[in-house]
Structure 1
């Protein structure tokens, strides 16, 4: 059997990238993993209990006394740069699955007012600035503005009160903005506010101006409607769709179920970590009940060939791709709550132990990684631009191997494609990581 499980620990960085301080110079000291370990030891009087992450080699890519001398599993160990602008969950997952984000940029709405206004007027809307500030009022009801909850320039919003407009009309405005927006996401937001939306407009970081959505009452007044419009991507050249077309069952769990595209995938959305882990473990157990003859159309069924071996070897038996996102680590980072983050990470580690026990056939892969950093000690509630770990459990390997630094999260997806016997060149982005034996 050849099953590949990707567990994304959302917001689990291992140290700032060289450009990590471009927006906030203080972010150059970001180190989600190291600061978390230090703070939890001080608060708990003991180190975090992370035996599986330690056994997978986390301490080799992030040297720390609490992770020393733990490596014991047959694993390939490395780290990855993000490979996309900013630090964003949506962009991180799309890149990891093989998307090319080279044309996506970080940009404030104020830098593109003319293009956005022209597109909206061409679509039949009235457009005017709000009190001369760099945001737009569309049809007298919809605010088009910088998203103030993400890093500056990552996302733009189109927001309106549902008592003023039905959500379908808000979404129509957002779609027109999306047609010319260079940023990763345009988000349509409709809700019930405590007053006129212009009264909740404020300045954000980095020269942004937008609606203070939490202050408006949208989140607490009920009836909130949201639609995320991502940058145009060729989802047929991402890992889930590529696997599905090869007859490989695909399961998307947690936030991955919400943000990754694949019509054939089984989706198990969940936020509580216990549910995410339970869905992941159940999905792996389900593959063990499949017939050894493989699934219909499974290119991996049948005798193992020399080409299989060269590809990383999807051998006889059914294959499966499972992608799970653990979101509560990221939520704890946003809340700057080291205690909660540490408790969730220990819960994740226990779940990894169960997955390692189940993924014990030659060709199986457990890939543990992240999508960006979210240092709960950094002094703000935004993501941090950090390297992330790449820890790959390989049951058939004899020992530990080191991976070169991945230039992009897309290399993680390409490596997973190789493990499934797929051609990484069919992805829009990424190159499978070569391995080298550990030095004696």
Structure 2
């Protein structure tokens, strides 16, 4: 029996990567963990209560004084660089699960405007610029533009008013753009706006131009339809499919259920942290081999809301849930891996993700003590480590990675 549970605390960074300031120089000061701990101590009049994260080795990889510097648990603790461009939940999870993101780039639509225009025209669409700006109006109804709600150049959108065009038409245009787009995601968005979409076009960071989707009323007027079209990936060479083909039951919880591909997986989508943790604990009670991948989304939402206190309260909820998981994953070969997918520092002065290292905290019941790991070059190492713990061959993953803090299970 070998159960591996991966808990991704969304947006939980532990300090800026060296290239974090390329897009925004101020992001070199990003430290989601440290700044949340500081702000919550000031607001609550006490340090955050994170005994389990401390016992899992968070204090070994982050120097904050509110985190314990020692642990008696059998853990391996380190930090990982992201291993993909930018700072994005979709790219983070795909990389972690074994996808090869080496061909995915960060790019503004303006840099590929002629190519996108050509592929849409070849598909029979009428395409024109909007008032000379670097975004496209397709068939007079759908805007193809930079996504302004993520870091510049991470995603492109195809957006349409559903009173003027059906969502199937928006999705078809997005799929055509996807065939030529080098970015991680092309997102089809349809909704009911408060006026013509051209009235809500504005410049974004890093030279982008796009639709201010929240201002349109799409999110508040009801009827919103969204579909994410990811970069072409070989999902058969990702951890969930690798495990499923080996007969290991797979459960995907929270946002992981929405963005990871595995046909036979049990899916438990949820946003509420208590619900995510309850589903994760339930899946971890398996009496045999199991892979569980869970995403705690509300930490990321708190980062976007620039609400450090909410972020801290969610971390305390997560810590309590991890205590329940530790009590279940106590057999030799079991693994609890706690990590993040990027940073989202709520104190940095903007509502975007931050490009930070993330913790990689691995509980290994059969180990003799604690081990401090060297920095990993990519989140891919999390998938490789989980594969080895489950007795799978990490070479089956598409992106190549190293096993960290966990030896392959004896056959």
**Aligned residues of 2:388 and 2:403 also touching (Cα < 8 A):** no
Choose from 411, 422, 427 the match for 2:397: 427
For residues 291-306 of structure 1, what are the structure 2 equivalents within 5 Å? none
SS class of match (2:66): helix
Counterpart of 1:238 in structure 2 is 238
What is the CA distance between 1:430 and its match in structure 2? 3.2
**Aligned residues of 2:109 and 2:134 also touching (Cα < 8 A):** yes
Counterpart of 1:97 in structure 2 is 97
Counterpart of 2:197 in structure 1 is 197
d(CA) in 2 for partners of 1:434, 1:52: 20
RMSD between superposed Cα atoms in Å: 1.1
Q: Does 1:355 align with 2:314?
A: no
TM-score (norm 2): 0.98
CA spacing shift, 1:211–1:163, aligned 2, 3 Å: same
Q: Which runs of 4+ in 1 moved over 6 A?
A: none
For residues 12-51 of structure 1, what are the structure 2 equivalents within 5 Å? 12-51=12-51
For residues 110-121 of structure 1, what are the structure 2 equivalents within 5 Å? 110-121=110-121
d(CA) in 2 for partners of 1:272, 1:72: 31
Choose from 313, 328, 331 the match for 2:298: 328
What is the CA distance between 1:284 and its match in structure 2? 1.0
Q: Aligned residues, how many?
A: 407
What is the CA distance between 1:435 and its match in structure 2? 4.2
**Aligned residues of 2:55 and 2:68 also touching (Cα < 8 A):** no
What is the CA distance between 1:405 and its match in structure 2? 1.1
Counterpart of 1:273 in structure 2 is 273
What is the CA distance between 1:393 and its match in structure 2? 0.4
**Aligned residues of 2:362 and 2:405 also touching (Cα < 8 A):** no
Map Cα deviations across residues 169-205 of structure 1 (whole Å, 9 max, x no partner): 0000000000000000000000000011001100111
Counterpart of 1:340 in structure 2 is 310
**Aligned residues of 2:60 and 2:77 also touching (Cα < 8 A):** yes
SS class of match (1:159): strand
**Aligned residues of 2:385 and 2:405 also touching (Cα < 8 A):** no
Q: Does 1:410 align with 2:380?
A: yes
Q: Does 1:396 align with 2:362?
A: no
Map Cα deviations across residues 229-270 of structure 1 (whole Å, 9 max, x no partner): 000000000000000000000000000000000001000000
SS class of match (2:188): strand
SS class of match (1:323): strand
For residues 182-221 of structure 1, what are the structure 2 equivalents within 5 Å? 182-221=182-221
d(CA) in 2 for partners of 1:63, 1:205: 32
What is the CA distance between 1:433 and its match in structure 2? 2.8
**Aligned residues of 1:403 and 1:433 also touching (Cα < 8 A):** no
d(CA) in 1 for partners of 2:164, 2:69: 61
Counterpart of 2:334 in structure 1 is 364
Map Cα deviations across residues 384-437 of structure 1 (whole Å, 9 max, x no partner): 00000000001111110122211100111011101000000010013233449x
Counterpart of 2:80 in structure 1 is 80
d(CA) in 1 for partners of 2:110, 2:402: 39
Choose from 367, 372, 379 the match for 2:349: 379
**Aligned residues of 1:404 and 1:433 also touching (Cα < 8 A):** no
**Aligned residues of 2:203 and 2:209 also touching (Cα < 8 A):** yes
d(CA) in 2 for partners of 1:169, 1:159: 10
What is the CA distance between 1:69 and its match in structure 2? 3.5
What is the CA distance between 1:74 and its match in structure 2? 0.6
What is the CA distance between 1:208 and its match in structure 2? 0.5
What is the CA distance between 1:64 and its match in structure 2? 1.2
| 393-402 or 357-366: bigger deviation | 393-402
d(CA) in 1 for partners of 2:171, 2:401: 36
Counterpart of 1:124 in structure 2 is 124
SS class of match (1:65): coil
SS class of match (2:182): coil
**Aligned residues of 1:147 and 1:156 also touching (Cα < 8 A):** yes
Map Cα deviations across residues 284-331 of structure 1 (whole Å, 9 max, x no partner): 11x13xxxxxxxxxxxxxxxxxxxxxxxxxxxxx31100000000000
Instruction: Give structure 2 stretches of 5+ with no counterpart.
Output: 407-411
d(CA) in 1 for partners of 2:365, 2:402: 19
**Aligned residues of 2:384 and 2:401 also touching (Cα < 8 A):** yes
SS class of match (2:193): coil
What is the CA distance between 1:72 and its match in structure 2? 2.1
Map Cα deviations across residues 207-240 of structure 1 (whole Å, 9 max, x no partner): 1000100000000000000000000000000000
